[in-house]
Structure 1
Amino acid sequence: MPRIDWHDDPSAPPVNSLVPAAAAFVERDGEILLIQRSDNGKWSMPGGTMEFGESLTTCVVRETLEETGIHIECTGLVGVFTDPLHRVEYDNGEVRQQFAIVYRATYLAGEPTRSPESPRVEWVRRANVLDLDMDPSQRVRLAWALQHPGDVRIDPP
């Protein structure tokens, strides 16, 4: 499903949806697990939206496995990202306000395996991560995770 990310744009359509989502910051041997998204071609951490009957932690473990073939264990939090000026528009008319919790996670097993949601799955050298083509919201999340390994980011009020 194609998507359009709007950032602090007065012409953005009004929000009609709020969906909890989670992403995984997985680092192994100086490399970060990333996917190239099929819906916009940009790079991001693996993750997705929570389903009924699961916790957000279960969601990120499930989504990471589905999108990458990698088994992970959540070990902490990178941060809370809920910028109301970031809206995501889908071709079905849904317009979501950003609502993402990013977990720190440990690699357990598996090999990078592409999926319909992620045609490319790669371990990217830490130094090269922010050079990739990604949405500005992803860049903020990854930059925080890379630069603040012991801190949790909390959105300002």
Structure 2
Amino acid sequence: MNSLKPAAAAFIEHDDKILLIQRSDNGKWSMPGGTMEYGESLTTCVVRETLEETGIQIQCTGMVGVFTDPLHRIEYDNGEVRQQFAIVYRAEYVAGEPTRSPESPRVEWIPRSDVLEVTMDPSQRMRLAWAMDHPDTVRLDPA
């Protein structure tokens, strides 16, 4: 492992649908989000990334949880290996229409009942399941 970069994702539920993107790098579905840039907060990061990837403006309202499993690693074509470090926020829809981007060729409001059926990484499925099943509890990684 040679990299650890803070990332944020947004769990956005609106009219019993959840906003997901299909990633251009692997074709799998996920919550919108990305890595924090120097000079911004993680909350600012998730708002920016969501707008860039989806065309949707959001407002963060709380947290789903902290996900930092040291056994979950992402390997990139350039040889970089990152350990998972993600904070998932609960967010409200503010404005906008789903709009694709170079990072997300498909952006859709998916019915809550269908969300866990789409093709996604197991870590995304775990995060989404936690968000849907525990609306009033923040998940913390075990010590």
TM range (shorter): over 0.9
Given candidates 3, 17, 26, the residue that maps to 1:31 is 17
Given candidates 41, 65, 82, the residue that maps to 1:55 is 41
Give 1:33 shift.
0.3
Given candidates 50, 53, 70, the residue that maps to 1:84 is 70
2:95 maps to 1:103:
no
The RMSD of aligned alpha carbons is 0.3
Structure 1 letter corresponding to 2:141? D
Runs (4 or more) in structure 1 with deviation over 3 Å come to none
Q: Distance in 2 between matches of 1:138 and 1:83?
A: 13
Given candidates 110, 128, 133, the residue that maps to 2:114 is 128
Structure 2 letter corresponding to 1:118? S
Equivalenced residues, count: 143
Structure 1 letter corresponding to 2:115? V
Structure 2 letter corresponding to 1:92? N
2:34 maps to 1:45:
no
Gaps of 5+ in 2: none
Q: Distance in 2 between matches of 1:156 and 1:40?
A: 29
TM-score by length of 1: 0.91
2:128 maps to 1:156:
no
Percent identity, please: 81
